[in-house]
A = this chain, B = another copy of it.
Amino acid sequence: MNTVEQQDAIVVDCLQYSKPTRERFLEWKNGDVGCVHVTLSVWETARETLSVIGRWNDLFAENSDLVALARTTADIHEIVRSGRTAVIFGFQNTTAFDDDIRLVKVFSDLGVRIAQLTYNTQNSIAAGCWEDDDSGLSTHVGRQFVREFNEVGMLIDLSHCSEKTSLQTIDFSSDPVAVTHANPLEFVGRDVELNRRPKSSEVLRALAARGGVVGLSPYVRMLKNGLKTTEREFVEMISWTVDLVGVDHVAIGTDFYTGYGVEAVKWWRMGRWGRESPVPIDEQAPVVEWPAWFQSPTAFPSLIVAMQQAGFSRTELDKILGGNWLRLFAEVFDGE
């Protein structure tokens, strides 16, 4: 994004979940990342999520030279024009709504624009990708919440949801939906971890057919060759997915995170609901490792070069790197 011709293109990373600090915001600047979807809640309740928003408000005040909250695509463009990174608030679960349908609008009014229906396990709304018995979108609570998300203009995220939840929600939602951070199962070639997050080709085709977008991720547990996966192989996955669903429906959601200890891993794996983690936790191992070519979001310019070398056109790059998310955001957030 260094040339004059490219100045209007915006890199959008449609999920990062690092512990937010100025260091991370500087990485966004150095990586020329225009917009990042961040996670406020996985298992946090409504009350706890209000405090998370409070901490973000402080961060915005303390780092107003680097970041600002975006509620609309117009906000994103304005923040990027000012040389800063636009932050989109999202939830990776519906826990923060406390099973209160009216909290969808309340949190929307606080800036939350994206909500994943569930995080791995089943809740009142939907089945997650860890359930052996996949009930999909629930008959009453799930369907009423989807209607509410559509009404309020909150983008539905299916990344950690089950196969049936994904297919039923794509079908039931009047707005297109997102898989903000999951790779194609058929390409990665295996059910990479218990979380079973990679998405079937059936889900990805249905998502695209209804106007949705999938964000691909360098998260090692969803890569074909794990930590050894090369940047070139990652770009091959992008090409493969574009061939599957079309260039208007493939984008980036790195799932990048750093800054946490093992307590955070326990929180993600089992919230407060578990005494044992369904995925064994190695207390001595690093919380997460990233491929050599994606040690942080500062790696975006290198990834863009790799995509150019692989033959992606300027138009294709603009769509995949940010344009597809911006088109989907406009449709859902702004009702365009």
User: Smallest Cβ distance from A321 to chain B, in angstroms?
Assistant: 36
Please name all residues of chain B whose beta carbon is closer than 8 Å to the beta carbon of A102 when the two chains form the complex. Answer: 272
The answer, yes or no, to whether A150 is at the interface (CB within 8 Å) is no
Copies in the complex: 2
Given A122-B122, A123-B123, A124-B122, CB of A273 within 8 Å of CB of B141: yes
Selected contact of A139 from candidates B130, B136, B140, B275, CB within 8 Å: B130
B124 touching A124, Cβ below 8 Å? yes
User: Smallest Cβ distance from A45 to chain B, in angstroms?
Assistant: 7
- A118 nearest in chain B by CB position: B124
- Number of chain A interface residues as a range: 35 or more
B131 touching A138, Cβ below 8 Å? yes
The answer, yes or no, to whether A133 is at the interface (CB within 8 Å) is yes
The answer, yes or no, to whether A278 is at the interface (CB within 8 Å) is yes
Q: CA A101 – CA B43 in complex, angstroms?
A: 13
Given A100-B272, A272-B99, A273-B101, CB of A121 within 8 Å of CB of B135: no
Please name all residues of chain B whose beta carbon is closer than 8 Å to the beta carbon of A278 when the two chains form the complex. Answer: 139-140
**Most chain B beta carbons < 10 A, residue from A99, A130, A134:** A99
Classify the secondary structure of A's interface with B.
loop
Q: CA A310 – CA B276 in complex, angstroms?
A: 52
User: Smallest Cβ distance from A70 to chain B, in angstroms?
Assistant: 28
Given A131-B135, A136-B133, CB of A141 within 8 Å of CB of B122: yes
The answer, yes or no, to whether A127 is at the interface (CB within 8 Å) is yes
Given A130-B140, A140-B278, CB of A122 within 8 Å of CB of B135: yes
Residues of A within 8 A of B (CB): 43, 45, 95, 98-102, 121-124, 127, 130-136, 138-142, 144-145, 147-148, 164, 270-276, 278
